[in-house]
Structure 1
Amino acid sequence: MDFINKKRMPVEVPEHVFEEVTYKVDGINVRGLLMTPQKSVERIVIYLRGGKGQVGKVRAARLMQFSDPNTLVFGPYYRGNNGSEGKDEFYGRDLNDVAVAIRILNMMYPKAYIHMVGFSRGGLQGLLTYQDLPVSSYIIWGGVSDIKLMYEERVDLRGMLKRMIGHPRKNEMAYKERDAVVTIHADSPPILIVHGGKDVQVGIHQAYYLEKQLKRIGTFFKTFYQMDEGHVPRPYAMKEALSTVKQWMTDIERQNLKAEYNK
């Protein structure tokens, strides 16, 4: 299990190398953008994009927001998007595109902490996969937590959801398969919920729903709500959100180190 091809990308930054990588998933070639530090890799951030096709595509600038000298950041494109083979199934077999990439990186850097960040559509992409992978935490940012809520909220996306998944009543099983909450348990990795109160693309009720379910299940989580922000925070609010996310990762890693020391 490894990347089968690497293509150097024309992104010049002092401490990292950008490459478009290809890897095999279910017999097809899937691509993603990899940002590798020049120094040793101590932390891995998996950025799960939102949108579909060119909307919400993985960009170098987005990966760089999570970088530091010892952090590797990777964003899978998902099958059927941006040169990846196959068809995007919107939380179907494209979930394997996330899982396989993480297992490859875990094999390459077994001592590095892994944190997943699911943005928008990527929120549910992460919730459906994170608890079965070697990750330290999951950050859901402006993310979808329930596909039925998404269907109800985004009238403009119902046509796309019907084409890709079906109608919630007529294709009930397809929606049940995309219900992440039933797979989360009390011992699942901790979750940080980040959301804007004025988000009209993914309403904050998606965050409230997840918060309620995690309380019921007993999963450790924290919330960071910016009530005056939309789907993408304004620059000063983005700085605050990124600082909170990075501090969360550091705190989780320190707790893990303490747990290892006390064994």
Structure 2
Amino acid sequence: MDFINKKRMPVESKYHIFDEVTYKGEDLHVRGLLMTPRENVRRIVIYLRGGKGQVGKVRTSRLMQFADKHTLVFGPYYRGNNGSEGKDEFYGSDLNDVTEAIRILHQIYPDIAIHMIGFSRGGLQGLLTFQNLPVSSYIIWGGVSDINLMYEERIDLRGMLKRMVGHPKKDAEAYQQRNAISQITETSPPILIVHGGKDKQVGIHNAYYLAEQLDKIGATYRTYYQMSEGHVPKPFALKDTLEAIKQWMKDVEQDTLKEQYNNNK
């Protein structure tokens, strides 16, 4: 199991090599952007993009936010986007484009910690996949935690949701298949919830709802709220957010998270 093809990207970087890679997602050829350290890989970050089509697409600058010189970062485009075959199903078969990429990277780097980061639309993309993968943790950042909440708050997206998923009442089964909370257990990998209090694209009630459900389940999680920030934090706040995410990954890797969690209960 490996990537089928690698195309070197014209990105100048002292510590990383950028490739657009192609791999199999079921019977389709799908693509993603791979940022590989020139030195030894000590951490892997999977960035799950938000948006659809060209809105929120994977960019080199976004991947570079999560890296140091020993961190590999990969961002799947999802099927139907940026040269990938197939059709984006919005939390349907496109979930396989996440799981297959992680399985490939885990086989190449079997002893390296893998952290998933789901931003905006990618939040639910990750929640629906992280439990059954060889990952150390999941970070949901400004992320959708429930597709029904998305339908309720984003009136401007209802037409798209009706086309791609259906109506919540008429197509209840399709919405239930996208219910991530029901799949999370007490033993699921730990979750960091990051959200801005003034987020208008994905309201902070998505974060509150997720935290409430994780409490009921007994899952391990931590929250990082910036109440004065929107969907994307302002530069000074963004620096704090990235530091919090990297500290979280370090705590998970050093196995101090559960001790901190139990002390704070």
TM-score, length of structure 2 as denominator length: 0.96
Alignment of 1:50-65 (within 5 A): 50-65=50-65
Q: 1:2 & 1:123 partners in 2: Cα distance?
A: 26
Amino acid at match of 1:85: E
**Structure 2 counterpart of 1:228:** 228
Q: 2:39 & 2:113 partners in 1: Cα distance?
A: 15
2:15 is equivalent to residue 18 of structure 1: no
Q: 2:41 & 2:8 partners in 1: Cα distance?
A: 19
Q: 2:11 & 2:251 partners in 1: Cα distance?
A: 31
Q: 1:202 & 1:25 partners in 2: Cα distance?
A: 28
Alignment of 1:36-185 (within 5 A): 36-185=36-185
Q: CA RMSD in A?
A: 1.3
TM-superposed CA distance for 1:217, in Å, is 0.1
Alignment of 1:205-216 (within 5 A): 205-216=205-216
**Structure 2 counterpart of 1:201:** 201
TM-superposed CA distance for 1:256, in Å, is 7.5
Deviations 1:173-226 (A, max 9, x none): 000000000000000000000000000000000000000000000000000000
Identity of aligned residues (%): 72
Query: Is the 2:220–2:258 Cα contact (8 Å) retained in structure 1?
Result: no
Deviations 1:92-147 (A, max 9, x none): 00000000000000000111100000000000000000000000000000000000
Query: Is the 2:251–2:257 Cα contact (8 Å) retained in structure 1?
Result: no
Amino acid at match of 1:169: K
TM-superposed CA distance for 1:258, in Å, is 11
TM-superposed CA distance for 1:257, in Å, is 11
Amino acid at match of 2:35: M
Amino acid at match of 1:129: T
Amino acid at match of 1:17: I
TM-score, length of structure 1 as denominator length: 0.97
Q: 2:130 & 2:101 partners in 1: Cα distance?
A: 12
2:18 is equivalent to residue 7 of structure 1: no
SS at match of 1:87: coil
Deviations 1:69-94 (A, max 9, x none): 11000000000001000000000000
Deviations 1:33-89 (A, max 9, x none): 000000111100000000000000000000000011110000000000010000000
2:250 is equivalent to residue 245 of structure 1: no
Unaligned segments of structure 1, at least 5 residues: none
Aligned residues, how many? 259
Deviations 1:148-182 (A, max 9, x none): 00000000000000000000000000000000000
SS at match of 1:88: coil
Deviations 1:213-240 (A, max 9, x none): 0000000000000000000000000000
TM-superposed CA distance for 1:255, in Å, is 0.4
Q: Deviation above 3 Å: which 4+ runs of structure 1? A: 256-259
SS at match of 1:255: coil
Cα gap change, 1:168/1:256 in structure 2, threshold over 3 Å: closer, same or farther?
Answer: same
Q: 1:68 & 1:111 partners in 2: Cα distance?
A: 18
TM-superposed CA distance for 1:25, in Å, is 1.1
Q: 1:20 & 1:253 partners in 2: Cα distance?
A: 28
Amino acid at match of 1:234: K
